[in-house]
Amino acid sequence: MSGGKGTVSGLEARLARFSKIGLLTAPTPFERMWRLEKHLGGPKLWVKREDCIPTGSGGNKLRKLDYVLAEAVSKKADVIVSGGVVQSNSQRQVAAAAARMGLDCHLAVFHGRVARADSSYEENGNAFLNRLFGAQLHPVAWNGDRNAALYDLADNLRKEGRKPYVVPYGVSSGLGAVGYASAVTEIARQAHDHGFSPDAIVHCSGSGATQAGLIVGTAIALRHTDVIGIDIDAEPERVEADVLRYAKEASAMLELDMEKNRVNVVAGHSGPAYGVPHEQTIEAISLAGRLEALVLDPVYSGKGLAGLISLISQGNWSADQNVVFVHTGGAPALYAYQDVRERLSRTGSEVGT
């Protein structure tokens, strides 16, 4: 575990060159999913609990924000600008971090990417938490451009004499990926404590920097671990291109040679569209709840686990191999999808244990 540059200590040393604001005070939990593993018939299944990061209901973006917002501080920003769809976990985590930092937060809220207009979707879950954390919301029509409206918002604030710092959609950038590589140091040490090195890390992939961070982190600290991103955007080519871009940028920042063949984005588990759960998503959320008391969501982590279950059923791993599922958070969105909760109430009793 210790020693040269191709080790966990090597990754930690490279990450130590970057500033952080200190949103994470301890490694997130790493647990065996005994009952899900038994239900599925192996391999050995572990979960990395990024949903337990202790700010604003947790989630994977906080790990990226720890590094990204340090840049905002160094640039002496007085307002944080970001954006996302109505039920974006990303912007909720930006709002939470900004609140803890004592900075104003303005969010461009995209309407129309997800074709829903029920009051539950518009007002519950992340939409409510954004307001609770004091963010100012600016409704914007979705036009497919994830970042232009954020920069427009920042320009307007600049005209008012403010010093905005733009956190990109999904907190995805080279620096965001560097921040997420820190998850690999924890996974490597926690797996080592349990006496193994993971055969694969599986998670859901959207704006790309989570997977990019896992790729560059494992390239240094867990060279024999596959990183498998489950596309939840129904845009696997776009996801793959973004993962590669951020992984290249993060590699340069960490002084690492990027190997293109480490990018593995798996299609076919996103359901019909972004934000629309399919039957396998509902089943995965139900299984995780009933067997492991994990709260997954209909947009991200539920689809990620649905993808993992499918890969297991296709025989991708033997019973003695170790697979880590990254629970990237997202539970607040569950409270915004009333129809999903109704479907879950129906399927719950049908899951055999």
Beta pairing, strands 30-32 & 44-49:
antiparallel
Amino acid at the residue 84: G
Pick from 208, 275, 298, 307 the residue near ligand PLP by CB under 6 A: 208
**Active-site position among 82, 88, 182, 301:** 88
Pick from 328, 334, 335, 343 the residue near ligand PLP by CB under 6 A: 328
Q: Give Dmax (Cα) for the chain.
A: 60
**Residue numbers 151-180 binding ligand PLP by CB under 6 A:** 170, 172
53 — phi, psi (to 5°)? Answer: -60, 125
Nearer to ligand PLP, 9 or 328 (CB): 328
Query: Which of these segments, 26-34, 135-143, 208-216, 219-227, binds ligand PLP (CB under 6 A)?
Result: 208-216
Pick from 28, 55, 87, 89 the residue near ligand PLP by CB under 6 A: 89
Instruction: Give the closest residue to 77 by CA, choosing from 103, 58, 96, 54.
Output: 103
Does position 60 interact with ligand PLP (CB under 6 A)? The reply is: yes
Question: Are 101 and 21 in contact, with CB atoms under 8 Å apart?
Answer: yes
**Residue numbers 276-305 binding ligand PLP by CB under 6 A:** 300-301
Nearer to ligand PLP, 300 or 335 (CB): 300
Question: Are 62 and 97 in contact, with CB atoms under 8 Å apart?
Answer: yes
Binding mask 16-55 for ligand PLP (x = CB under 6 A): ----------------------------------------
85 bridge partner residues: 110
The DSSP string of 133-202 is TTPEEEEEE--S-SSHHHHHHHHHHHHTT--EEEPPGGG-SHHHHHHHHHHHHHHHHHHHHTT---SEEE
Does position 90 interact with ligand PLP (CB under 6 A)? The reply is: yes
Pick from 24, 209, 230, 258 the residue near ligand PLP by CB under 6 A: 209
> Cβ of residue 294: shortest distance to ligand PLP, in angstroms?
12
Nearer to ligand PLP, 157 or 183 (CB): 183
Pick from 43, 83, 277, 329 the residue near ligand PLP by CB under 6 A: 329
Pick from 205, 225, 270, 280 the residue near ligand PLP by CB under 6 A: 205
Question: Are 298 and 273 in contact, with CB atoms under 8 Å apart?
Answer: no
236 — phi, psi (to 5°)? Answer: -60, -35
Nearer to ligand PLP, 10 or 46 (CB): 46
Does position 210 interact with ligand PLP (CB under 6 A)? The reply is: yes
The DSSP string of 228-297 is EEEE-SS-HHHHHHHHHHHHHHHHHHTT----GGG--EE-S-S-SBTTB--HHHHHHHHHHHHHH-----
Nearer to ligand PLP, 9 or 185 (CB): 185
DSSP 8-state code for residue 51: G
Based on the residue annotation, tell me whether 88 is a catalytic residue of this protein.
yes
Dihedral over Cα of 245, 246, 250, 253: its sign: positive
Pick from 207, 218, 280, 281 the residue near ligand PLP by CB under 6 A: 207
If binding means CB under 6 A, how many residues of this protein chain bind ligand PLP? 19
* Residues contacting residue 32 through CB under 8 Å, at least 6 positions apart: 44, 45, 46, 194
Nearer to ligand PLP, 164 or 298 (CB): 298
> Cβ of residue 23: shortest distance to ligand PLP, in angstroms?
16
Residues binding ligand PLP (CB under 6 A): 59-60, 89-90, 170, 172, 204-211, 300-301, 328-330
Active-site residues, by number, are 88
